Amino acid sequence: MKILKWTMIVLAAILIVWLVIAALISGDFKYEKTITINAPVEKVWQNTNTLKAMDLWSPWNRLDAGMKKEWTGTEGQPGEKMCWSSKNDKAGKGCQEIKKSRSFPKKNRYFN
C-alpha cells in the first residue's frame, strides 16, 4: 500500500510540474528560414513581393492544377490575402495574408 501511495504522489508531482511549465510557456510560434539565392535582388523582389507573384512559381500548384484560389486586398500591400482550397489533402485549404511589407530596398541591397 505504501508503494502505491508513493507512486501516486510522484505521479501527481510530475503532473503538477508539467502543468506549471505548460502554463509558463508562451503559445506563440514563429518560423524563420534563411536561404541564399544566386540572383540579382531586383529579380528576387519581383518574384516574391506579392502573393500573386509568388503563386506563379509556387511548388504547391503542382499538387493540384485545379486548386481554387481567391485574392483580396491591394497587391503587395498589407492586407493582401490569398485563400486556396484543394481536393488534394497535401495542398489542403487555408489563407495567407501579408501583415507587413517593405518597399524595395534601393540603398541597402541586403534584407535583414
12 within domain boundaries: yes
All three cell numbers of 43, joined, read 529579380
64 within domain boundaries: yes
pLDDT mean by block of 10 residues, the chain; 112 residues: 91 94 83 87 86 89 90 91 92 90 61 45
Q: Which domain holds residue 55?
A: 2-97
109 within domain boundaries: no
42 within domain boundaries: yes
> Per the structure, how many domains does the chain have?
1
Of 69, 76, 24, residue with least CA distance to 45:
76
| pTM of the entire predicted model | 0.57
69 within domain boundaries: yes
Of 48, 44, 32, residue with least CA distance to 101:
48
